[in-house]
Every structure is written in structure tokens, then in C-alpha cells.
């Protein structure tokens, strides 16, 4: 993650699952020890804001380096926020 990555802007993002299933609408929470990363422990997904050019190069299912060094996969792209775009991802394994 680059130092230029926006850290946060506004409230925590909605969980990606909750965005598409209104009965399960809830917000993600900040991930302890990782500034600018949110998690949904219920659905085992994470989110971070990437600069628009980096986020624009990603598609659902693309490999994605997770915050802890494991190999992840892009779940979807979210809202624009803080000069970047929210990227939802999960562990691939």
C-alpha cells in the first residue's frame, strides 16, 4: 500500500454484502493495526481506498495483495471517496 493512499473520508463503508442484501445492511469496522483498512468479520471481507488509476485497473476476481501479505481477490469496486475508490477484497484460499 502506498503512502499516498487516502486513509479515510466519511463514515466506514457499507459491507459489500449489505449493499446488495438490504436486510443485512451494516457498516464495516476499522481493522486494528491497519490504518485505512476496514473489515467485516461476519462476511470475511476487507476494504481500502485506492487512488482512482489503481482502482480503475482492477476487476472482480483479480488477484489482490492483502494488507497482511496473503494473496487475496477483488470482490468489487465501491464508491468514490476521499479522492480514491473503495476496493472490496477477501482472502483467496
| pTM across the whole model | 0.82
- Which pLDDT band holds residue 4 (cuts at 50, 70, 90)? very low
> What pLDDT does 19 receive?
67
Residue 6 reports pLDDT greater than 70 = no
Q: Which helix (H) or strand (E) holds 18?
A: helix 16-20
- Partners of residue 38 on adjacent β-strands: 30, 47
pLDDT digits (tens, 9 = 90+) for 7-38: 555 678 888 876 677 787 888 999 999 989 99
Run of H or E residues at 48: strand 45-50
Give the confidence band of 1 by pLDDT, cuts at 50, 70, 90. very low
Domain boundaries, the chain: 16-91
The residue among 1, 3, 83 whose CA lies nearest residue 46 is 1
Amino acid at each position: 500500500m502506498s503512502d499516498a493512499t487516502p486513509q479515510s473520508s466519511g463514515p466506514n463503508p457499507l459491507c459489500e454484502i449489505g449493499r446488495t442484501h438490504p436486510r443485512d445492511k451494516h457498516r464495516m469496522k476499522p481493522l486494528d493495526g491497519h490504518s485505512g483498512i476496514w473489515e467485516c468479520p461476519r462476511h470475511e471481507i476487507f476494504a481500502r481506498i485506492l487512488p482512482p488509476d489503481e482502482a480503475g485497473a482492477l476487476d472482480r476476481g483479480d488477484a489482490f495483495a492483502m494488507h497482511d501479505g496473503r494473496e487475496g481477490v477483488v470482490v468489487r469496486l465501491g464508491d468514490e471517496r476521499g479522492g480514491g475508490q473503495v476496493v472490496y477484497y477477501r482472502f483467496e484460499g
